[in-house]
């Protein structure tokens, strides 16, 4: 019994101590002249869906939820946001070169059509980010049209 109590107290102590490991949740200021929605003159219905379902991870406008302030969840959230921004950051769209944009547009169409985004684990915590079949089809068609226009 004493051994179990010591293990329990040790685990509690570790959980308390890891709360002091800082996680940088600072969003880089957004330059509107580089933002995808503005640069691409995105239709308002597409913008609404993008902001609701994509921008939290794929932009510098992340709204961190309450659970992202509790370690070890904070580490996971920050890792996912950093990884997402590395693949596509809507806030920095104007800074990508033509080849980067083409690759991103093509990949975005694929992940939308393959239902890989938004991530199911993200949607389980953020139901508002779920894409209806119509919204998914609209986004895929929009990105496909941008990709085709870029190829001309």
Q: What is the mean pLDDT of residues 40-67?
A: 95
Please give the share of the chain, as a percent, with pLDDT higher than 70. 100
Number of domains the chain is built from: 1
* Mean pLDDT over the full length of the chain: 92
pTM value is: 0.85
> Which is more confident, 22 or 146?
146
Residue 152, pLDDT above cutoff 80: no
Full domain range(s) for residue 129:
2-151
Q: What is the pLDDT of residue 141?
A: 98
Q: What is the pLDDT of residue 62?
A: 93
Helices (H), ranges, the chain: 2-17, 36-39, 44-53, 73-87, 98-113, 120-125, 133-151
Here the tokens at position 127 are 């139901």
């Amino acid at each position: 019994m004493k051994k179990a109590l010591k293990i329990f107290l040790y685990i509690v102590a570790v959980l308390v101590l890891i709360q002091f490991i800082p996680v940088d949740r600072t969003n880089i200021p957004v330059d509107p002249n580089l933002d995808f929605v503005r640069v691409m003159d995105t239709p308002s219905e597409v913008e609404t869906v993008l902001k609701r379902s994509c921008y939290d991870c794929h932009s510098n406008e992340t709204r961190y939820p309450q659970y992202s302030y509790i370690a070890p969840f904070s580490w996971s959230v920050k890792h996912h946001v950093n990884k997402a921004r590395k693949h596509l950051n809507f806030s920095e769209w104007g800074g990508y070169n033509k080849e980067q944009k083409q690759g991103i547009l093509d990949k975005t169409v694929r992940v939308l059509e393959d239902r890989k985004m938004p991530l199911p684990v993200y949607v389980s915590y953020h139901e508002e980010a779920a894409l209806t079949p119509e919204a998914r089809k609209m986004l895929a068609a929009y990105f496909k049209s941008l990709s085709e226009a870029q190829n001309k």
